Amino acid sequence: MNEKILVVEDERDIARMVEYNLKKEGYRPLVLHDGSFAAATAAKERPALILLDLMLPGLDGLEVCRRLKADTKTAAIPIIMLTAKGEESDKVLGLGLGADDYVTKPFSLKELLARVQAVLRRSAAAPAPAPEKLSAGDIELDAAKVTVKLKGAPLELTSKEFELLKALMAGGERVLTREELLEKAWGMDASLELETRTVDVHVGTLRRKLKKEGRRIVTVKNYGYRFEGGR
Ligand code: CA
Q: From the CA of 71, how far away is ligand 1's center (Å)?
A: 24
Q: From the CA of 108, how far away is ligand 1's center (Å)?
A: 17
Q: From the CA of 62, how far away is ligand 1's center (Å)?
A: 12
- 211 Ramachandran zone, left/alpha/beta (phi>0; psi -120 to 50): left
pLDDT at 231 over 80: no
pLDDT above 70: percentage of residues in the chain:
93
Question: Is the CATH number of domain 133-227 1.10.10.10?
Answer: yes
Q: From the CA of 145, how far away is ligand 1's center (Å)?
A: 46
Q: From the CA of 82, how far away is ligand 1's center (Å)?
A: 8
Q: Chain-wide mean pLDDT for the chain?
A: 88
The better pLDDT of the pair 90, 141 is held by: 141
Residue 57: per-residue pLDDT:
93
CATH number of the 4-125 domain: 3.40.50.2300
> How far is 100 from 122, CA to CA, in rounded Å?
10
Q: From the CA of 47, how far away is ligand 1's center (Å)?
A: 21
> How far is 224 from 164, CA to CA, in rounded Å?
12
- Domain regions of the chain by residue span: 4-125, 133-227
Q: From the CA of 58, how far away is ligand 1's center (Å)?
A: 11
Residues in the 5 Å CB sphere of ion ligand 1: 10, 53, 55
Residue 73: per-residue pLDDT:
84
Q: From the CA of 14, how far away is ligand 1's center (Å)?
A: 9
Residue 9: per-residue pLDDT:
97
Question: pLDDT tens across 42-63, in order?
Answer: 999 999 999 999 999 999 999 9
Residue 1: per-residue pLDDT:
57
Q: From the CA of 9, how far away is ligand 1's center (Å)?
A: 6
- 108 Ramachandran zone, left/alpha/beta (phi>0; psi -120 to 50): beta
Question: pLDDT tens across 14-35, in order?
Answer: 999 999 999 999 999 999 999 9
Q: From the CA of 122, how far away is ligand 1's center (Å)?
A: 27
Residue 36 contacts by C-beta under 8 Å, 6 or more apart in sequence?
58, 59
> How far is 187 from 107, CA to CA, in rounded Å?
39
pLDDT at 130 over 60: no
